[in-house]
Amino acid sequence: MRIILLGPPGAGKGTQAKALAKRLNLAHISTGDLLRQEVAQNTPLGKEAVIYMQKGELVPDDLIIQMLEKRIVQLDAQAGFILDGYPRNLAQAKKLDQILNNMNKSIDLVFYLDTTEKVIIQRLSGRLVCKNCGANFHLTNMPPKKDRICDFCGGQLYQREDDKEQTIKKRLLVYYQETASLIDYYQQQKKLVHLSADEEAELVLEKIIQKIETYHDSLKI
């Protein structure tokens, strides 16, 4: 299966993508995580990308598309993947369709994780991420068992640079200006599943799994 998780910053795309990838044994492809790795390794791409990321703006399409093309052909993505944070605009969506088409593949489902601005600000301002394995926690919603220590690998938890209030507001603005139009794009392709992401993460995950099962059943008919 090839699945896209769409939604504003803080909707829970990363949280759901990690859980789904584990449950369905699919690759998790997060362009945000790939970019943060490039930044941490101080690569030429990382040096360029960080300028946009710190401002809450989108990294230019040509850089993102090159990075995605390399990742999507890797072995673990052959059986399927969950895309988190890509596409962010129409040009990226069309390019993805073209890349997959050349491989005789296509996107199966697009989950639009819908949530309110109030929830977004609360989630992002309390988010903690593991420096080592990338697991997501939250100061109050999903606190780690030990203060600032990852439950899974013992790594240190940190707050993302772009989770400051001003940058969150800018990221939201960019989302409404550039990314929200993709809801129509995938609706027209009859691939969009609209879900409320305001409930507990486990409940959101179960709703996604149910929709995937219904989709599988419809293919058997």
- Active site residue ranges: 13, 88, 127, 160, 171
Measure the CA–CA gap between 115 and 156, rounded to whole angstroms: 29
Give buried/exposed letters for 71-102 (b at 16+ CB in 10 A, else e). Answer: bbeeeebeebbbbbbbbbbeebbebbeeeeee
Residue placing its CB nearer to ligand AP5 in the complex, 28 or 88: 88
| Closest distance of CB 80 from ligand AP5, Å | 19
Residue placing its CB nearer to ligand AP5 in the complex, 73 or 216: 73
Residue placing its CB nearer to ligand AP5 in the complex, 66 or 214: 66
| Closest distance of CB 139 from ligand AP5, Å | 8
CB 151 within 8 A of CB 135: yes
**Which residues are near ligand AP5 by CB under 6 A?**
7, 9-15, 31-32, 35, 52-53, 56-59, 64, 85-86, 88, 92, 123-124, 127, 136-138, 141-142, 162, 171, 197, 200-201, 204
| Closest distance of CB 212 from ligand AP5, Å | 18
CB 136 within 8 A of CB 18: yes
Q: In what order do the strands lie in the sheet with 2-6?
A: 27-30, 81-84, 2-6, 109-114, 192-196
